[in-house]
Structure 1
Amino acid sequence: AVVMAALAHAAIWYYARAAATPPDIKAVQSVSFSPFRADQDPEGGDVASPENVIFDLEKVAAFSNGVRTYTVAKGLDIVPVEASLRPKFRVVLGAWLNSFEDQNKVEVDRAIELANNNKSVIALTVGNESILRKDQTVETLTATLKDVRKRVKRNTLVTTAETWDVWLANPELADAVDYISVHILPYWEGISADVAVAYTFERFDEVQAKFPDKWVVISEFGWPSRGYNNKDAYADPLIQAKVIRDFIAEANKREIEYNIVEAFDQPWKSVEGLVGAYWGILDAERMPKFSLEGLIQPRDTLPKATAALIFGAFMSLLGLLRRGPTFGHALAYSAAANALGAGLASAAWWPFETYLTVGTAIMWGTGALAIVPLTIITLSKVHEIAEVILGHRPIRLLKPKPLPEGAKAPMVSIQIPAYKERPEMLIETLNAVAALDYPNFEALMIINNTPDEALWRPVEAHCLTLGPRFKFVNIPSVKGAKAGALNEAMAVVDPSAEILALIDADYVVKPNWLSDLVGAFEDPKVALVQAPQDHRDGGESVMKGMMNWEYAGFFDIGMIQRNEDNAIVAHGTMLMVRRSAFEQVGGWHSDTIVEDTELGLRLFEAGYSAQYTNKRYGFGLLPDTFEAYRTQRHRWAYGSVQIIRKHWRHLLPSNPALTHAQKMQYATGWFQWLSDALGVLVALLNLAWVPLVLGFDMMAPTVAMTVPILTAFTVNVAHCVLLYKVRVKAGIIPTLSAALAAMSLQLTVARAVYDGVVRDGLPFLRTDKGGAKRSSSGMVVGKEALLGIGLTIAASTLILTNTAEVLEIKVFAATVAVQALPFLAAIVMRLIELGGRSAKYDAQNGAPQT
């Protein structure tokens, strides 16, 4: 499957090779000449050296006998002198006019002097689009042209250069020139390359018809090889080559004089936008961008294709080494890996195809940093989709495993940590434990850091009524939150207890929890047995129903797949741990606030295995408020970063503690948290970049940088819709509810990741459950609202102002709009919370009850 995907990928590159065979061209009549190097900016004061001018004239002379210049300043005054040394080499000398009369006088005087003293100068162009730019009026320009005509030698033609529409709109200008010097640039008019040449000659004919007694020269025609599209006009190396060769062939056929803009790429021309740098027949290194004869093919296809194939093969093999996939699973994953490999290659190759500026370098560098983790996350989602739908059925799911007839039931110590919880809830939890049908257990109610006696006295009394197997442990003050309390409680655990079982204080367990699952510990390698979390109050409100569906996705999709690699995430409720293994790895550690997950990882590192069942054996309570939901997720994400900082060395290839599959699962799981943080960072950067695009003509992020974000979003949607249907058995409304709830937490997760990186020892924050806390009436999602609305306005503005229909701006706008969704989701969740406090929820169908 991997080989098939790679061959298909290679075939696509091969057959997609752009190639064209336009008419052969022997030479180019004339080219616009600007001898500035990639690191020079004439507008910033740089001057072309004589050596560079001479070198560039030699380069031009290889394919043309003429140049057109635009100024006699900046070192270009030696062009007619050097050109005179070359037989039959022609110069159309330019004198640049702006709105400053004194500067114009110096420029014109020097141009006249050069024209009168150098035989290479056949014409003098006074002003370049000076009326179009409104630097000159027809009257002032006409006066200047008449003055020049009087002062320049008779055999030197005098003209000015304007676009075709300016000539048609100002026919009186023709009386002041010896010939019409017209610019026809269909790219700037948004004309498709397919009709660009025909369009050009239609405009030429129109100008010629307007001035039948004048010689008309197309003094600027060209096409860019890179940059933005302008409506239907797309910049591309192959298109540039084809359009220019087609144009020259037609111009030669019609015996029309022309000048191609331009000889060399000019990276300094940022004033014309990204596309301005790429009009040269030769690039900035003075290398030809296309041949004038024969087949035309882009010169950079092979290296990029090779990189794409290498990336695709590497990611395919790396992802499929975990275990033997089915053919369909492997093919689907490899196809996605190759597609993403092509995207990575395009992004990696972009700086080698582009003249980088400070702004574009920042844009590319930031995007490149984001693409790598984004690709990992996207591939992990594709992997999971392919594995669930096309792969093997799960083989490690734990089925009920009662102890053999007559076997001794090992002692189980059930531990219920509680911190400032309502006594009614704790008593309900204890009653469910008392109803267990397992014969050999004790239950420890572990109250910690709860000074209010009204919260624990009733619980203590209830433990007494339930009998001696129920132990009440009150630890008035302990450090290390839940982990610290559990460690202290080990002093009163029955010495004969072989298994430690944990449930949260709000969980009501089923009677067969222990009797169904304790048998899994007959395998001495098993140290963990985990049952999923679920909740009994999902029907209380729309918001709680949405939360419940979001939790279900993890336990019915992610945990099942992780279990296949023996890499589940241990949760501190519905969890059983082998006591000997627990003590071997050092018990609970309080240096993270997710002591349960961290314990599970240490057990894996010690070589133990885990068992997981997706059968529900207990039901807890959902967070009371959206703020409590976010607090819980902040704790999980923050704790994950703590684990990364503590255990990252175990993921290195040289560390044998974990298997390759376990390392992949933990790495991709951690990348999920990091990608949320990165997503917020990229959204903020894009939000800051939008004003630069709109107000300062900065480049919009290239498609190679924005498409991966849209691809990741599309894959996430597909992952949610497909796997919720297959695994969670959820309809479309519950699926969308889960997606909305998950998205709403992005800023919370990002803040947690940031806190985990820069702050140590954040306190354990309890999640309010069971109606203990009412929703706040304040602005809970102020930051999300600011970002969501800001990004929405930014995306809308990009679309509304994109009159040139630039593809990059369209895709950038779509990207910004997608990045707004998580923040808008938080607003929606808050509105649902405020509007649905009393609404009931149909937990089965995912809709409010009426």
Structure 2
Amino acid sequence: MNASTRRHVAASPAQTRGRRTAAPGWPKVTLHLPLRDEQPELVRRTLDSLAALDYPDVEVLVVDTHTADPLLWEPVAEHCARLGPQFRFFHLGPFPGFRAGALNFALRETSADTAVIGVLKAGQVVRASWLRRLVPLFRQPGLGLAQSPLDYRADEPSRFNQIAEAEHATHRSDFRGLLPLSALPLFRAEALRLAGGWDETSMCPEMALGLALLRHGWDAVSPPEPMGRTLARDEFPQWQARRQRQVAGGMAVLRKQARGLLLPRDRSLTAPQRHGLLHGALPALADLLAITGLTLSLGSSAVAVIAPEDTAFPLALMPMLLLFALLPALRVAGHGWLALAGSAALSWRSGRAAWQGLLGGHVSRNGGTRMEKLLLLGIALASLGVALANPWGGERTLWWLGLLAVQALPGVAALAVASTARRGTADHYAAPAFHRTMA
């Protein structure tokens, strides 16, 4: 165990005897597991899956930051000590840089002879063959990143889990596997160090690092076979917050790299890389247009109520506004109604995050339904005002009210999915406790 003073706890003879030894032809792999206020049982299951890896030379660095409750981090430290000296635990307390800062600390603590570095999250359980299947890919000299997908399935999936998984499936082709988003990434250690590690100032450090690897000329591959699954149960606010950071970070990357994306003569990105990045931005752009259209509709409704004698212009906008409202649904067409519900529930948050990423604004790390409730209240007041003012006559006013009803659907979906998530949390029984052993 490593406490804040980073003192090592000696391994027992039994642990030392069980340590893997290097094998010819298999490069050393170091796995980084950053933690913050994680449930020990989820961490234990992740660590046990890493201990069962069928690979001859692997070490695991567990870095816990900002966790004040000893009942959360001490059982993890003790479990690392039981697993053997290849599992090194660090408890740093308050530490700058959030997750990126913890990963940069782990990078500095990584052995110099490490050739491949992997990054995991608490609650991810990997297949024993994960490293044996993917590490040989790094025999390609120019490969900097190899990542395999995860099955997003909880032990007992609730309706909310099913919605979240279905919505996640619609994003698996985003960025065409070029950036490490929600997968099991393995990095060439040389590439990670040359890129400067993780950007602690970025809204989405994974995207910032992924683009840095691309601009340094490293290739990336994404084998389609899942090499693990996640056991962590997302709650609705965390689900929203993660997508907000991903969208805002992706759009911030596009804003900063606009020259390389739009100018063919800029050779810092290849044509396939530019195409992949722009393709990955399409879902966020659809949500951006949807919330922009809603803003225009609310503004036009206010004008129609205040000056009903001069309101012909908003009617000309109706086809465009209706198209903007339907873009998020059209994007997930063919993925089923669960994906449609999830996409709609995230649409307004994603659209706002896309604007924040493009404009460089602050992105909240919290989720909830406050924004959705306020917008739904605005739509209700706008509908009531238009109905009473009747600025275009009966039939055309009804068309406008129908447009507002369509634009309100993402807010209704967000409230419905949030309610489903709360019911699922209330019905879910507690996971088995992770008991500490006494010497």
TM above 0.5: yes
1:720 maps to 332
The structure-2 alpha-carbon separation of the partners of 1:455 and 1:514, relative to structure 1 and needing over 3 Å to count, comes to same
Q: Deviation of residue 418 (structure 1)?
A: 0.7
Q: Kindly indicate whether residue 228 of structure 2 is the aligned counterpart of residue 640 of structure 1.
A: no
Note if contact 2:294-2:325 (Cα within 8 Å) is conserved in structure 1: no
Greater relative contact order, per chain length (Cα 8 Å cut-off, separation 6+): 2
Q: Which runs of 5+ in 2 are unaligned?
A: 1-22, 429-439
Q: Kindly indicate whether residue 122 of structure 2 is the aligned counterpart of residue 512 of structure 1.
A: no
Q: Kindly indicate whether residue 58 of structure 2 is the aligned counterpart of residue 441 of structure 1.
A: yes
TM-score, with normalisation over the residues of structure 1?
Answer: 0.44
> Aligned with 1:520: secondary structure?
helix
Q: Kindly indicate whether residue 173 of structure 2 is the aligned counterpart of residue 549 of structure 1.
A: no
Q: Deviation of residue 715 (structure 1)?
A: 5.6
Q: Kindly indicate whether residue 307 of structure 2 is the aligned counterpart of residue 688 of structure 1.
A: no
2:119 maps to 502
The structure-2 alpha-carbon separation of the partners of 1:736 and 1:761, relative to structure 1 and needing over 3 Å to count, comes to closer
Q: Deviation of residue 407 (structure 1)?
A: 6.8
Equivalent of 1:817 in 387, 405, 425: 405
Give the distance between the partners of 1:761 and 1:719, measured in 2 at CA.
27
Q: Deviation of residue 612 (structure 1)?
A: 0.7
Q: Deviation of residue 529 (structure 1)?
A: 0.7
2:11 maps to none
Note if contact 2:379-2:404 (Cα within 8 Å) is conserved in structure 1: yes
Q: Deviation of residue 761 (structure 1)?
A: 7.0
Q: Kindly indicate whether residue 91 of structure 2 is the aligned counterpart of residue 474 of structure 1.
A: yes
TM-score, with normalisation over the residues of structure 2?
Answer: 0.81
* Deviation string, structure 1 residues 368-389 (Cα, Å, up to 9, x no partner): xxxxxxxxxxxxxxxxxxxxxx
Give the distance between the partners of 2:301 and 2:272, measured in 1 at CA.
41
> Aligned with 1:744: secondary structure?
helix
Q: Which amino acid aligns with 2:415?
A: I
Q: How does 1:649-798 map to 2 (within 5 A)?
A: 649-653=259-263, 654-670=265-281, 672-694=283-305, 696-701=308-313, 705-714=317-326, 716-722=328-334, 724=335, 735-753=336-354, 755-756=356-357, 765=365, 780-788=368-376, 790-791=378-379, 794=382
1:313 maps to none
The structure-2 alpha-carbon separation of the partners of 1:786 and 1:584, relative to structure 1 and needing over 3 Å to count, comes to closer
Note if contact 2:53-2:127 (Cα within 8 Å) is conserved in structure 1: yes
Equivalent of 2:73 in 456, 461, 477: 456
2:435 maps to none
Give the distance between the partners of 1:596 and 1:834, measured in 2 at CA.
29
Mean Cα displacement is larger for which, 816-825 or 660-669? 660-669
Note if contact 2:290-2:327 (Cα within 8 Å) is conserved in structure 1: no
Q: Deviation of residue 569 (structure 1)?
A: 2.6
Alignment RMSD (CA, Å): 3.0
Give the distance between the partners of 1:572 and 1:545, measured in 2 at CA.
17
Q: Which amino acid aligns with 1:601?
A: L
Q: Deviation of residue 661 (structure 1)?
A: 3.1
The structure-2 alpha-carbon separation of the partners of 1:572 and 1:743, relative to structure 1 and needing over 3 Å to count, comes to closer
Equivalent of 1:805 in 392, 395, 400: 395
Q: Deviation of residue 466 (structure 1)?
A: 1.0
Q: Deviation of residue 673 (structure 1)?
A: 2.8
Give the distance between the partners of 1:642 and 1:466, measured in 2 at CA.
41
How many residue pairs get matched?
A: 402
- Bigger CA radius of gyration: 1
The structure-2 alpha-carbon separation of the partners of 1:757 and 1:716, relative to structure 1 and needing over 3 Å to count, comes to closer
Q: Which runs of 5+ in 1 are unaligned?
A: 1-405, 725-734, 768-779, 841-850
Note if contact 2:148-2:226 (Cα within 8 Å) is conserved in structure 1: yes
Give the distance between the partners of 2:135 and 2:408, measured in 1 at CA.
47
Q: Which amino acid aligns with 1:591?
A: T
The structure-2 alpha-carbon separation of the partners of 1:746 and 1:711, relative to structure 1 and needing over 3 Å to count, comes to closer
Q: Deviation of residue 507 (structure 1)?
A: 0.7
Q: Which amino acid aligns with 1:717?
A: A
Q: How does 1:356-395 map to 2 (within 5 A)?
A: none
Q: Which amino acid aligns with 1:749?
A: S
Q: Which amino acid aligns with 1:440?
A: D
The structure-2 alpha-carbon separation of the partners of 1:573 and 1:451, relative to structure 1 and needing over 3 Å to count, comes to farther
Q: Deviation of residue 413 (structure 1)?
A: 0.8
The structure-2 alpha-carbon separation of the partners of 1:787 and 1:532, relative to structure 1 and needing over 3 Å to count, comes to same
Note if contact 1:541-1:839 (Cα within 8 Å) is conserved in structure 2: no
Give the distance between the partners of 1:640 and 1:532, measured in 2 at CA.
19
* Deviation string, structure 1 residues 442-473 (Cα, Å, up to 9, x no partner): 11111123233322221111111111221112
Q: Which amino acid aligns with 1:541?
A: S
The structure-2 alpha-carbon separation of the partners of 1:576 and 1:614, relative to structure 1 and needing over 3 Å to count, comes to same
Q: Deviation of residue 713 (structure 1)?
A: 5.0
Q: Deviation of residue 717 (structure 1)?
A: 3.5
Q: Deviation of residue 814 (structure 1)?
A: 3.9
Give the distance between the partners of 2:289 and 2:200, measured in 1 at CA.
28
> Aligned with 2:273: secondary structure?
helix
Give the distance between the partners of 2:160 and 2:356, measured in 1 at CA.
27
Q: Kindly indicate whether residue 196 of structure 2 is the aligned counterpart of residue 586 of structure 1.
A: yes
Q: Deviation of residue 603 (structure 1)?
A: 0.9
Q: Deviation of residue 790 (structure 1)?
A: 4.1
Q: Kindly indicate whether residue 26 of structure 2 is the aligned counterpart of residue 409 of structure 1.
A: yes
Give the distance between the partners of 1:621 and 1:697, measured in 2 at CA.
59
Q: How does 1:117-266 map to 2 (within 5 A)?
A: none
Q: Deviation of residue 656 (structure 1)?
A: 1.0
Note if contact 1:540-1:839 (Cα within 8 Å) is conserved in structure 2: no
> Aligned with 1:667: secondary structure?
helix
Q: Deviation of residue 432 (structure 1)?
A: 0.6
The structure-2 alpha-carbon separation of the partners of 1:710 and 1:751, relative to structure 1 and needing over 3 Å to count, comes to closer
Note if contact 1:539-1:545 (Cα within 8 Å) is conserved in structure 2: no
* Deviation string, structure 1 residues 501-555 (Cα, Å, up to 9, x no partner): 1111221111111111112112112111111233231744211221111112212
The structure-2 alpha-carbon separation of the partners of 1:836 and 1:581, relative to structure 1 and needing over 3 Å to count, comes to closer
The structure-2 alpha-carbon separation of the partners of 1:568 and 1:796, relative to structure 1 and needing over 3 Å to count, comes to farther
Q: Deviation of residue 490 (structure 1)?
A: 2.0
The structure-2 alpha-carbon separation of the partners of 1:613 and 1:798, relative to structure 1 and needing over 3 Å to count, comes to farther
Give the distance between the partners of 1:458 and 1:828, measured in 2 at CA.
37
Give the distance between the partners of 2:155 and 2:379, measured in 1 at CA.
32
Q: Which amino acid aligns with 1:721?
A: A
Note if contact 2:107-2:197 (Cα within 8 Å) is conserved in structure 1: no
Give the distance between the partners of 1:717 and 1:698, measured in 2 at CA.
33
Give the distance between the partners of 1:572 and 1:836, measured in 2 at CA.
23
* Deviation string, structure 1 residues 299-322 (Cα, Å, up to 9, x no partner): xxxxxxxxxxxxxxxxxxxxxxxx
The structure-2 alpha-carbon separation of the partners of 1:675 and 1:572, relative to structure 1 and needing over 3 Å to count, comes to closer
Note if contact 2:52-2:128 (Cα within 8 Å) is conserved in structure 1: yes
The structure-2 alpha-carbon separation of the partners of 1:569 and 1:644, relative to structure 1 and needing over 3 Å to count, comes to same
Note if contact 1:444-1:471 (Cα within 8 Å) is conserved in structure 2: yes
Q: Deviation of residue 644 (structure 1)?
A: 3.6
The structure-2 alpha-carbon separation of the partners of 1:430 and 1:614, relative to structure 1 and needing over 3 Å to count, comes to same
Q: Which amino acid aligns with 2:270?
A: T
> Aligned with 1:439: secondary structure?
coil
Note if contact 1:651-1:663 (Cα within 8 Å) is conserved in structure 2: yes
Give the distance between the partners of 1:529 and 1:546, measured in 2 at CA.
28
1:350 maps to none
